[in-house]
Amino acid sequence: MSALEIHQFEAFDDNYGYLIHDAEANVTASIDTPDTPKILAALEHTGWALTHILCTHHHFDHTGGNEELKAKFGCEVIGPRAEAAKIPALTRSLGEGDILEFGTRKARIFDVPGHTLGHIAYWFEEDKAAFVGDALFALGCGRVFEGTPPQMWASLQKLAALPPATNVYCAHEYTLGNAKFAVTVEPENDELMARAKEIELLRARGERTVPSTIEMELATNPFLRAGEPSLQRALGMEGAVLADIFTEVRKRKDNF
Ligand code: ZN
Ligand code: FE
């Protein structure tokens, strides 16, 4: 059985597009549809024919190409059940606990509300890959637009519980800005300081910081670390309710 192939590319100013491909079954999905011309170029580059679109949430930079790509390829358009009415050209909706069969590969669906109320993530367990949209970012998390911070915290806990070696494919290159904020929240986290330096070097060379891994995020992402005594001390919130600590971190980032 062949492994899932993943082709990552830049889209718009700071989005990432992903094509995923199972060679054995000859199926190809676009994770979300930012920037249609970039997706078409990626299909041309890989020589893969689009059979699926897997949307994480309804925002335009994740669904804006659905209509055009569906018209062109007649592909399935899959998205979150809880916001099905907002996903253009949807053909199938999924939610928590569903298993998506993608050729010979399988993805488990998580509901990760907060950024939007219906946001979902796709976890390909055997391929050690999670496509998390705007829920979790490298060193950050999505702005809480539609849900509440405690709801976002609960969503992030689901992703934090994935195996440490899982690669985290998020939808934006926001890592440098996230790093600048993260070091203000937990300046005594050596691993974070080292990662922030590395990110600065990578971005200065125009290189990607995505994907990261769950292991890296657990060690350095302040939005996953509400339970860590070091972060609680830094915030002066020792022993506070974890969702409250997360809420405080999110509030600081919103005002950063
Ligand atoms: Zn979004
Ligand atoms: Fe986005």
Condensed to tens digits (0 to 9), the pLDDT of residues 111-165 reads 999 999 999 999 999 999 999 999 999 999 999 999 999 999 999 999 999 999 9
- In whole angstroms, how far apart are CA 92 and each of 16, 89, 96? 23, 9, 14
Domain that holds residue 199: 5-254
Give pLDDT tens digits for 239-249. 999 999 999 99
Give residue-wise pLDDT tens across range 39-54: 999 999 999 999 999 9
Mean pLDDT across 212-228? 98
Can you say how many angstroms the Cα of residue 87 is from the centroid of all Cα atoms in its chain?
18
* Among the bound ligands, the one closest to the CA of 119: 1
The radius of gyration of the chain from alpha carbons, rounded to an integer in Å, stands at 18
User: What is the number of domains present in the chain?
Assistant: 1
* Residue 221, C-beta contacts closer than 8 angstroms, at least 6 positions apart: 136, 138, 139, 140, 141, 182
Tell how many helices (H) and how many strands (E) occur in the chain: 9, 14
Q: Ligand 1 center to residue 58 CA distance, Å? A: 7
The Å distance, Cα 79 to ligand 1 centre, comes to 14
pLDDT for residue 2: 79
**CA angle (215, 221, 226) in 5-degree steps:** 105
Ligand nearest to the CA of 58: 1
Domain at 111, CATH number: 3.60.15.10
179 and 201 in contact (C-beta within 8 Å)? no
- The CA 25 to ligand 1 mean position distance, Å, reads 31
Q: 147: CA distance to ligand 1 center in Å?
A: 13
Q: Which residues are annotated as catalytic?
A: 57, 59, 61-62, 115, 134, 172
pLDDT of 196 above 80: yes
Q: Closest-lying ligand to the alpha carbon of 115?
A: 1
Average pLDDT value over all residues in the chain: 98
Indicate the pTM of the whole model: 0.98
Q: How far, in Å, are 128, 166, 223 from residue 212 at the CA level?
A: 12, 8, 15
Q: How far is the CA of 24 from the centre of ligand 2 (A)?
A: 31
* pLDDT tens column, 78-121: 999 999 999 999 999 999 999 999 999 999 999 999 999 999 99
